[in-house]
Amino acid sequence: MAKRKHKAPKRKASWLVNTILAIICIIWFIPTLGLLISSVRPAADILQTGWWTVFPHRQWATEEQVKLPKDTDLRQPITVNGQTFSDDQLKAGVMQGDKRLVWENRRSRTVDVQDKKWSGMTLNFTTQNYETVLGGKQYKITQPDGTVKTEQGSGMGRSFWNTIAVVIPSTVIPIFIASFAAYAFAWLKFKGRRFFFVIVIALLVVPLQVALIPILRDYTALGLNGTYFGIWLAHTAFGLPLITYFMYNSISQLPRDLFESAYMDGATNFTIFSKLILPLSVPALASISIFQFLWVWNDYLVSLIFLGSQPEVQVLSMNIANMVGSRGSDWHLLTAAAFVSMLTPLAVFFALQKYFVRGLLGGSIKG
């Protein structure tokens, strides 16, 4: 196995490559940008104007107002500046030449005459959404004697730590178990190897909803409901088929002579696994742990069913869902909360990105 330098000299990037990639990146970034901008806009703005209106753009601006006679009949065609329009047209806005007519106030019979004007950068930003999200939503509770009490809901702090306690073991445990299994499937001979492997692959496709009710019943009998251990097991089982499949793919690609020489030297399987296989599989381990981490981090259904929503064990995704309410109408809170909950996975990605480098395997890959 030839040891090579970590960084191969980078070939000069062509402008074509850079341009195509830049276009893809911009398209990819637009929805996320929308989320970021929306998260700092006041709640009312979010529902009234598009998020891109914070940038300079042309929009209708009222130039003058026309007051129609107070007794104008709205069911009849309405005459404005010599032309007639229907009430519905004026409600939606209608063009007259290059001007636009729209009701300013229907009851007082005032019509806006608007013109397209450039509007500059809007700087109507607020940190209110983030304050609410991090501090917890305020609940107004009407007490029996009629007074209204405002109570602060639990913030994200507690559920952040709960999430850590759920996510890290739920990432490490299945990867550990799956790597051991993948090593055995790939390099050890034993009865039932093929059978078990086919079952594991087949289980890839089982939708986890299939398992929810039977597991819930077993968990209730065993007292595992609402415990970290229970949810670790559930996430482990749901992640295992995919992780085993992936680790198998990576481990079975390693060259055979690598093990054989180690085995000849008297190394046990356990030593080969922990001293040889794991270090060589670092890129695969890094990428699959990112994904398992993400899936568990963003999971809502499994935590809801096996952990419950009591504040002592509640995880972030559940906290967000509670904050938003079942109808998902509080967009301003959701955008801020979504951004806050994105930060940790992104940090993990950046931390692990350094393992995705060329040359970690040297020339050892089968080719």
Pick out residues in 193-232 that bind another protein (CB under 8 A).
193-194, 196-207, 209-211, 213-215, 218, 223, 227-229, 232
> Minimum distance between the CB of residue 297 and another protein, rounded to whole angstroms?
8
**Total binding residues toward another protein, as defined by CB under 8 A:** 133
Please pick, from the candidates 78, 101, 133, 181, the single residue that binds another protein as defined by CB under 8 A. 181
> Minimum distance between the CB of residue 250 and another protein, rounded to whole angstroms?
9
Show the beta-strand stretches assigned E in 55-187: 57-67, 78-80, 83-85, 94-96, 99-105, 110-119, 138-142, 148-152
Please pick, from the candidates 173, 267, 278, 304, the single residue that binds another protein as defined by CB under 8 A. 173
> Minimum distance between the CB of residue 143 and another protein, rounded to whole angstroms?
29
Amino acid symbol at 139: Y
**Rounded alpha-carbon distances, angstroms, from residue 22 to 12, 15, 16:** 16, 10, 10
Pick out residues in 121-160 that bind another protein (CB under 8 A). Answer: 157-158
Q: Which stretch binds another protein (CB under 8 A): 71-79, 115-123, 137-145, 331-339?
A: 331-339
Please pick, from the candidates 111, 178, 296, 302, the single residue that binds another protein as defined by CB under 8 A. 178
**Is the CB of residue 283 less than 8 Å from the CB of residue 217?**
no
Pick out residues in 91-110 that bind another protein (CB under 8 A). Answer: 92-93
**First vs last Cα of the chain: how many Å apart?**
13
Minimum CB distance to another protein smaller for 141 or for 202: 202
Q: Residues with Cβ < 8 Å from 23, sequence gap 6 or more? A: none
Q: Which stretch binds another protein (CB under 8 A): 13-21, 69-77, 117-125, 128-136?
A: 13-21
SS3 content of the chain, % helix, strand, coil (to 5): 55, 15, 30
Minimum CB distance to another protein smaller for 36 or for 74: 36
Please pick, from the candidates 70, 107, 189, 327, the single residue that binds another protein as defined by CB under 8 A. 189
Minimum CB distance to another protein smaller for 78 or for 236: 236
> Minimum distance between the CB of residue 80 and another protein, rounded to whole angstroms?
18
**Is the CB of residue 234 less than 8 Å from the CB of residue 346?**
no
**Rounded alpha-carbon distances, angstroms, from residue 199 to 113, 133, 196, 241, 253:** 70, 44, 5, 9, 21
Largest CA distance in the chain: 103
Sheet strands side by side (includes 57-67): 57-67, 110-119, 99-105, 94-96
Report how far residue 110's alpha carbon sits from residue 103's, in angstroms, rounded to the nearest whole number.
6
Minimum CB distance to another protein smaller for 67 or for 311: 311
Pick out residues in 285-314 that bind another protein (CB under 8 A). Answer: 286-287, 290-291, 294, 297-298, 300
Report how far residue 117's alpha carbon sits from residue 314's, in angstroms, rounded to the nearest whole number.
49
Pick out residues in 332-351 that bind another protein (CB under 8 A). Answer: 334-335, 337-338, 341-342, 345-346, 349-350
Report how far residue 320's alpha carbon sits from residue 341's, in angstroms, rounded to the nearest whole number.
9
Minimum CB distance to another protein smaller for 128 or for 252: 252
Nearest to 313 by CA among 203, 209, 168, 158: 158
| Residue 267 binds to another protein (criterion: CB under 8 A) | no
Q: Which stretch binds another protein (CB under 8 A): 63-71, 77-85, 139-147, 247-255?
A: 247-255
> Minimum distance between the CB of residue 259 and another protein, rounded to whole angstroms?
13
Alpha carbon of residue 66 to chain centroid: 49
> Minimum distance between the CB of residue 305 and another protein, rounded to whole angstroms?
11
> Minimum distance between the CB of residue 211 and another protein, rounded to whole angstroms?
4
| DSSP 8-state class, residue 105 | E
Pick out residues in 23-42 that bind another protein (CB under 8 A). Answer: 24-25, 28-32, 34-35, 38
